[in-house]
Amino acid sequence: MEKSEKIANDIISRRGIYYQAFGIYKEISGFYDYGPIGLRIRRNIENTWRRFFLGELNALEVETTLILPEIVLKASGHLATFTDPIIDCTVCKASHRADKLLEEFYEKKGDTKAFSAVKRMKIPELEKEISSSGVKCPKCGSKLSKIESFNLMFKTQIGPGSSENGYLRPETAQGIFVDFKNLFRVYGLRLPVCISQAGKVFRNEISPRQQLSRMREFGQMETELFFDPGAELEEFNGIWFDTFAKAEITFMESNSDEARERRIGELLDLGIIPNRHLALLIYLEDKLMAKMGLSKETYRFRQVEKEELPHYSQGNIDLEAKTEYGWMEVAGNASRSDFDLSQHAKLSGEELGVVLDGKRILPHVAEASIGIDRLLLAILHNSAVDGSERGWSYLKLNENISPYHFAIFPLQKDEKLMDKAREVYSLLNERNLSSYYSETGGIGKRYARADEIGVLSCITIDYQTLEDDTVTIRDRDTTKQIRKKIGEIF
């Protein structure tokens, strides 16, 4: 584990940024609760996505239900294909995800070629490889069972005594697809158009682990770009094709172990990115990472191999970020063609095509699906700083992500100073500049606590403030202090 990741994990634990849910009971893995600081960071990630990503695309945002009737998931293919390979221990009965077990085995051996090959294996190949390699139960070292397919959806019943099956949604996208016809009509839309949604999704992971990387309840920020497959994209909401075609991204092809800078237009010409609409989403996603504070060295785009593709995809480009667990997928970008709309039209009996210039067409879809929690984990792991020169570690969070713009401190517990500090606190909050107030502990300790959680600046109210209305403003990254009039802060 890198030093920065150790620092991040220490801060996460000590400051309660997030923690295992149901902690007072027997641990049930795969569920995490967010503390006050973590929740603010998480919401800022979501709001940055809204302001930039949705803003650039002029997207409509919706909120659809968490429970889906079985027919919706039959149409989407999740009922039949949303599975992972499960293998059980014959002695302790612990369940494991077979492909991940094999990947971990080869990762420990340092066999990168065999590790990469696991992604292409079907169940018979996985069984053969696990048997021949001698992989045992990691919990008790006993022999493992046969592999079976395990559906990852949480099932429930809709209505008392009802035979109507329902499921907690495994993605936010299906709510968008089933609402598309109504949204298109009500809002008088024209293609291409983006519809987005952020919210909780649920996947009954076989063996959750690695903190927020494999959870059973987590957040997604998804955008579906509906377009006419017969029309070539030249411009979208003021973003011209020539602009994003020239842009470079850090990219790794499926047949390579090395990422390098590639032009988006080149990847389109090679057919690696399936269409211009998906290329636009990837271009904006790359820019979004900078808004989140991630440097180019900490993330990359990767071409997904055919054997890894979801059932609905004509081509996927994953966004991966560096964490203590290696390169982790934080977003999936997919060319979904007309799969979803055609399937829902077929099973519902509804016409979901739209009329465009007198011609009825069924739109195709390009999707950008970002995992909020995994992205948060990557941001924390890549923003932790040793800070030994100042005596404490801290999170160098981007201004868009930081939980607070300011921390407000009276120098001492003097009623006059505290009243003035609370006045400054109120003024900042009235102007939507997030801040928190603290009068507990020495000023050095309060600086340390603010730095640790990534607060951008500390404002100290002292006795000079009472005389001339000036305050001391201390910068988190440089620790430099300047004096300003209160009115100049805003």
Say if residue 402 is exposed, middle or buried (CB neighbours under 10 Å; 0-12, 13-18, 19+): buried
Give the Cα separation of 313 and 335 in Å (integer): 6
- CA proximity to 67, closest of 158, 195, 189: 158
* C-alpha closest to that of 310 among 281, 347, 337, 344: 337
How many other C-beta atoms are found inside a 10 Å radius of the C-beta of residue 7? 21
Tell me whether residue 161 is exposed, middle or buried, using C-beta atoms within 10 angstroms of its C-beta: 0 to 12, 13 to 18, 19 or more. Answer: exposed
**Which residue segments constitute the domains of the chain, with CATH numbers given?**
3-81+153-384 (3.30.930.10), 83-151 (3.30.40.230), 404-488 (3.40.50.800)
Is the four-CA dihedral 473, 476, 481, 482 of positive or negative sign?
Answer: negative
202 touches 217 (CB < 8 A): yes
Q: In whole angstroms, what is the distance from residue 218 CA to residue 212 CA?
A: 8
User: Which pLDDT value is given to residue 2?
Assistant: 67
pLDDT of residue 137: 92
Cβ(181)–Cβ(348) below 8 Å: no
Q: Which of 367, 319, 371, 376 is nearest to 196 (CA)?
A: 367
Can you give the pLDDT at residue 351?
95
pLDDT in tens, 322-371: 999 989 999 999 999 999 999 999 999 999 999 988 899 999 999 999 99
Residues 19 and 12: their CA atoms lie apart, in Å, by 8
The amino acid at residue 205 is E
**Residue 344: what pLDDT?**
97
Strand, coil or helix: 239: strand
Full-model pTM: 0.93
Tens digit of pLDDT at every position of the chain (490 positions): 567 889 999 999 999 999 999 988 887 899 999 999 999 999 999 999 999 999 999 999 999 999 999 999 999 999 999 999 999 999 999 999 999 999 988 988 888 888 888 888 989 999 999 999 889 998 899 999 999 999 999 999 999 877 799 999 999 999 999 999 999 999 999 999 999 999 999 999 998 989 999 999 999 999 999 999 999 999 999 999 999 999 999 999 988 889 999 999 999 999 999 999 999 999 999 999 999 999 999 999 999 988 777 778 888 999 999 999 989 999 999 999 999 999 999 999 999 999 988 899 999 999 999 999 999 999 999 999 999 999 999 999 999 999 999 999 999 999 999 999 999 999 999 999 999 999 999 999 999 999 999 999 999 999 999 999 999 999 999 999 999 999 999 8
A 10 A CB-CB count for 116 gives: 15
